[in-house]
Structure 1
């Protein structure tokens, strides 16, 4: 049947139905659609496969239309999690006082639709325009087969990160602060974007102490009570209290610039002689402060602590034996070096440290007690005691006393060992000074909080560690990244393998002058490939 003929029949049938003389018309239409039969047919089978372009467009259109009209329940019905979507969409118009919503979709990329939102926030006789961008993705409903918006709170606003986060407009939860660096330079989110979450943390904790008074704001209220509200729009300015931090604006600027070159990167720099944090920067899609809170295997940067453990337990010295075989077995697991590394049966600890030979360190596993590495990490480097008081939330590192294959893996920064860049910057500071100074981002004098303590290292151990780190920075695995840096320098590279990742995480820590820094780039490869250039850039300014 030609298309025109078929269309004519359907039109005639529809006309007859509208005119009230459509008896039997249902069967004719059904037959044309291939569902013919003598009686009523059952429901059409649920559709499968990715949503078509038309479905993506239509689903987004309906969702946007209902959202813009403030019809929260209807908008939620176009998502695959209406129970979570409806409360947030309701808070958008009620608790957040957002009105006059206009949503403009952009060109879809597959099943993803970018869009812009323009609206007005009104509260207490004050109004301000709200303008931002977000995106949504349309998926196939698992049970219904319908094309639905894949529900994420970030659809409503990109700063909504938790599934139960809400939007609220009213008096701010805490007064604003004017954070300044160690020299009085004002630190803002605009000038230093990755400081945003950190400035929020400082405001939540020290806003009242700094002498400020709250204003009126549109904020993200996070379901996680440990996360401070995120300010999105200020309707009425509060009085900002002045808060002095230990940060250095020039070093912070260098850190911000350096991490932008590598996705999923974080870096911390500290003043080694005091533990004062000079810079903290993250370049991540999720906004997470991995620099302070990351919990990842640090790879061979951990060999700083392991080398100290071997020296302090009298097992070898920097110039003592640490032969580097092709592989070594412990508790049924075989450990290897990089494929390109040639064995060296006559290697010293300094040789194996500079080359980052895994097997040289693991060969000593038999002579170490299960708790040896843990004791060195906690008692001398101040790690893993869960008592750091930096001024904002932070992770103290974890080096548990273990046995079996994990005991060997821990010696090369794998297994159950977890660190953040903050932890490794502190490790390097302790290695170069001999004293553990718990890192801080606001002076202890601000609130007289109790800082963590550790006994540190002997002058002889420090001398050996610094010599090994200097050799690594000048002629070992860190030499390429540290090229061009002069003076008192040292470094250690690391790469940590993670299940499910095609590339290892890149780690690097180093020092120059009185500055120690450490960086981590997820799936960045070898330590010198990504994390190394980040640390070198920071040391070039800060050291």
Structure 2
């Protein structure tokens, strides 16, 4: 917990207490809390309609910024459409966040939107102060009740990184800074490895004290979501960083960062199958969401690794045994088909796996005689849903029990199956060794946390058959083109996941090369081998 002052929301009203200032809550009045513009008497003037004029935008903006810069929170708030929220937020900007000498300069408006520049000074304990500058923007709207021009209030007006219910804090950081290093001692920074930004923040929050550092003084944003790391806005006094060893590999991380730049909304993770150590995590997104570790999506046919393991364990299939692969199949009222309606005549299970034949898998459902068979396999062998303690917050994946057509969809990685690329890299790592080893990004010895243990390993014969099928997929199946440049003992599985309302399926790919396993997803990327495949191959080559 930080020292300093905090404005809390109690029953929708801001109360200033120790700790920081919160922006959010709700208005106590219906409609606008104030509906008058600068210089307008709404009782005598007729109500205006339509977008605010250029003159109204200019006058309202200048009046609002002038009042804010003078510290007149009441007047500034009355120029917004939600004074109930705006006034305490503007007051706390000075009194709690300790921002003074505020200079606000509007730039050229774009319609009703007006960008502006903030220049100010932030002071802590009187002896420590620092200049602070940033850009923000506001929008002038017409009040719903009277039609007066008003600033459309939102926390982001004060600072673009503020969201509803965020807390602006000033004081000693909640944790000391860290100098994170990879497994070989190379320093890992946000500047060099942008994808690691939220991960390094989370590691600092959790392990800064354990790493032996000393906290600094900073102005920061705390989220209402305790799983989100604190976001620093301005450092007044730097703390002393503690050294934190991670399992990451700088070379593999660099390759992962470069790989995801090929496609927006893509993620990739690499792990070491023999230990579970995470070697790389990278995302390419417009937001800062760590989708690689926190995402929840249908993984498409990469899930067939788990389904195949379950069918092999039950003796329903064998790598070299024949299996039907028709162009389509109906199961309990739902029709499933293969890509371009291909079929395989007189083929083996390995061929159906390597070409990703959906119907070959779905035709086995009734023979399992257990609606929970896939869910059990995912948890008991592959560790899905066992409360992973990686060192930062991550999502474990989910394969709920299902029946009927929903179960059929799960067998091919659709329906209610939810995974991220960390989960699928781990699935591939388990397939490679036959034993689940929970992924970690910092050593367990750092804090003695409990690491998830799967109840059992794959039988030796099943594990070898699964690896063989993945090797064939990488050499002559749907993953061959993507994996052509990858050396060593290699295997793969492709996947395309259909998403409601999305014109193009998500591209999934997972593979291994010697003691490295990796998985990637590209949203709306199409076939697994086309988009996600090259990302995985690039990371495997570096590993």
- The two structures have a TM-score, normalised by structure 1, of 0.84
Partner SS, residue 442 of structure 1: coil
Counterpart residue number, 2:258: 257
Describe the shift of the 1:43–1:198 C-alpha distance in structure 2 as closer, same or farther (beyond 3 A).
same
Aligned equivalent of 1:269: 270
| Residues 93-102 or 106-115, more deviating | 106-115
Counterpart of 1:304 in structure 2 is 305
- Equivalence for 1:361: 361
Q: Does 1:473 align with 2:474?
A: yes
Q: 1:176 to 1:46 in 2, by over 3 A?
A: same
Superposed CA offset, 1:500-543 (max 9, x none): 2222222211111211111222222222333222222211211x
Structure 1 residues 297 and 130: alpha-carbon distance in aligned structure 2, compared to 1, 3 A threshold: same
**1:213-245 deviations in whole A, cap 9, x for unaligned?**
211111112222333322222111222211111
Shift of 1:426: 0.3
Structure 1 62/177 Cα, relative in aligned 2: closer, same or farther at 3 Å? same
Contact in 2 for aligned 1:300/1:496 (Cα 8 Å): yes
Report the secondary structure of 2:169's partner residue. strand
| 2:28 corresponds to | none
Match of 2:128 among 106, 126, 129: 126
Change in 2 beyond 3 A, CA 1:137/1:293: farther
Decide whether aligned partners of structure 1 residues 148 and 378 sit closer, same or farther in structure 2, where only a CA change above 3 A counts: farther
Q: Say if 1:258 and 1:537, in contact at 8 Å, map to a contact too.
A: yes
Aligned to 1:159: 161
Q: Note the C-alpha offset of 1:399.
A: 0.5
3-state SS in 2 of match to 1:178: strand
Question: What is the alpha-carbon distance in structure 2 between the residues aligned to residue 362 and residue 113 of structure 1?
Answer: 57
Matched, 1:381 2:382: yes
Question: 1:410 maps to what in 2?
Answer: 410
**Displacement after TM superposition at 1:212 (Å):** 1.6
Cα displacement string for residues 426-483 of structure 1 (whole angstroms, at most 9, x for unaligned residues): 0000001111110000001111111111122122222222222222222222223223
1:362–1:214 Cα change, 3 Å: same
User: CA contact under 8 A between 2:493 and 2:510: conserved in structure 1?
Assistant: yes
Q: SS state of the match for residue 457, structure 1?
A: coil
CA distance in 1, matches of 2:52, 2:538: 46
Per-residue deviation, 1:52: 6.6
User: Aligned ranges for residues 100-499 of structure 1 at < 5 Å?
Assistant: 100-105=101-106, 113-124=114-125, 125-135=127-137, 152-160=154-162, 162-338=163-339, 340-368=340-368, 369-385=370-386, 387-454=387-454, 455-499=456-500
In 1, the alpha carbon distance for the partners of 2:45 and 2:347 equals 76
Q: Which runs of 5+ in 2 are unaligned?
A: 1-41
The aligned counterpart of 1:518 is 519
Is the 1:175–1:212 Cα contact (8 Å) retained in structure 2? yes
Task: Report Cα offsets for 1:164-200 as digits up to 9, x if no partner.
Answer: 1022221111111111111111112222222111111
TM-fit CA distance, 1:372:
0.4
Deviation, structure 1 residue 45? 5.7
Structure 2 SS opposite 1:499 = coil
Worse-matched range after superposition: 473-482 or 71-80: 71-80
Shift of 1:377: 0.3
SS in 2 for 1:477: coil
SS in 2 for 1:91: helix
Q: What do the CA deviations read for 1:70-113 (whole angstroms, capped 9, x no partner)?
A: 44455455555554444444433232222333445555566655
Contact 1:246 1:278 (8 Å CA) reproduced: yes
On the 8 A contact 1:84/1:164 being kept in 2, the answer is no
> How many angstroms apart in 1 are the aligned matches of 2:141 and 2:348?
58
State the secondary structure of the residue aligned to 2:536: helix
- Displacement after TM superposition at 1:370 (Å): 0.6
Q: What does 1:15-34 correspond to in 2, within 5 Å?
A: none
Where does structure 1 lack aligned partners over 5 or more consecutive residues? 1-39
Distance in 1 (CA, whole Å) between partners of 2:309 and 2:327 is 23
More off after superposition, 233-242 vs 304-313: 233-242
Say if 1:214 and 1:482 are closer, same or farther in 2 by CA, change over 3 A: same
Distance 1:277 1:334 in 2: 39
- Alpha-carbon deviation of 1:143? 6.1
Q: Note the C-alpha offset of 1:390.
A: 0.7
Contact 2:328 2:341 in 1 (8 A): no
Superposition pairs of residues 41-56 of structure 1, within 5 angstroms: 44=46, 47-48=49-50
Residues 121-143 of structure 1 deviation map (CA, whole Å, 9 limit, x = unaligned):
22122222223344555666666
Residue by residue over 1:397-443, the C-alpha shift from the partner in whole angstroms, topping out at 9 and shown as x without a partner, is 10111113211111111111111111111000000111111000000
> How many equivalent pairs are there?
499
